[in-house]
Amino acid sequence: MKPETSNTDWDLIIEPKTSLFDLRLKEVWKYRDLLVLFVRRDFVAAYKQTILGPVWHFIQPIFTTIMFTLVFGKIAGIPTDGIPSVLFYMSGITIWNYFSACLTSTSNTFLSNAGIFGKVYFPRLISPLSTVTSNLVKFGIQFLLLLAFMIYFGIADGNFHFGVSWLLIPVLVIMMAMMGLGLGIIISSMTTKYRDLNILLGFGVQLLMYATPVAYPMSFLKSKSYAAWIQWNPLSPIVEMFRYSLFGEGTFDGWHLLYSFGFIVIVLFIGLLMFNKVEKTFMDTV
């Protein structure tokens, strides 16, 4: 007597990846509901047991702006390209905070999610993508604060810039997100074996901020011998263009922005390949 054969139709078949370039991005799209749940989880977990909650996102840029105004504006006397110093520093801090948060959060993807990765299957790329998206909510809160200060200074000075250049803002924010994601997953892929990178990243991000025109304009460095090094920092054109989009002041440098875009594409591609390779064996090393 022959055993009965099963005609069960499976909804999902999990197979080993056969190629390093098999990124399965379509599968990530199928799990978009999980992405939303992870974003909600990250945001709720961050403020569930805090008193002020999201108000911290207002406090941090305000106090940092005050310190930058005193140190770089009053003491060092660095000009701000005709932009009110408060708006100049707050705009740089706002876009930088988003990049910094994306980079530092995604760099811990494998280490912080080792427990869930070892128990449940889902596209691992969902985790860093949810981190970038949840940080976008925080960026939105800080951008509203910046907008409130812009309206205040616009009423006081009678000069509020709002034009076509604002259409660049979403593009620049996406570029910052992709930059943070690409660099973050590269570091995350390496920290499964080299934990020292977490320590290096901590002060490395702080040093990188001073190599980016967050607290000074590029025009201030024209006569400096190291200006070229700052200019070729792929983050510099994005920060400068962010200010230009908001205030209409500064320089529009399309070529350097194109360079930043090319750098992001390369870093993101390398990061996806490394992430794809490491996720197969990371449970053996974490």
Confidence of residue 284 (pLDDT cuts 50, 70, 90): very low
Residues 120-148 have pLDDT tens digits of 777 778 888 888 998 898 899 899 999 99
The rounded distance, in Å, linking the Cα atoms of 255 and 281 is 40
Closest to 88 (Cα-Cα) out of 218, 226, 223, 207: 218
Please count the other Cβ atoms lying within 10 Å of the Cβ belonging to residue 157: 9
Confidence of residue 189 (pLDDT cuts 50, 70, 90): confident
Distance of CA 122 to the CA centre of its chain: 23
pLDDT of residue 34: 83
Which ranges constitute the DSSP H helices of 192-283? Answer: 196-210, 227-231, 236-247, 254-278
Q: What is the DSSP track for 158-207? A: S----SGGGGHHHHHHHHHHHHHHHHHHHHHHHHTT-THHHHHHHHHHHH
Residues 210-246 have pLDDT tens digits of 999 999 998 888 878 888 888 889 999 999 999 999 9
Check pLDDT > 80 for residue 42: no
The mean pLDDT of 34-53, rounded to a whole number, is 74
pLDDT of residue 53: 65
The mean pLDDT of 188-215, rounded to a whole number, is 84
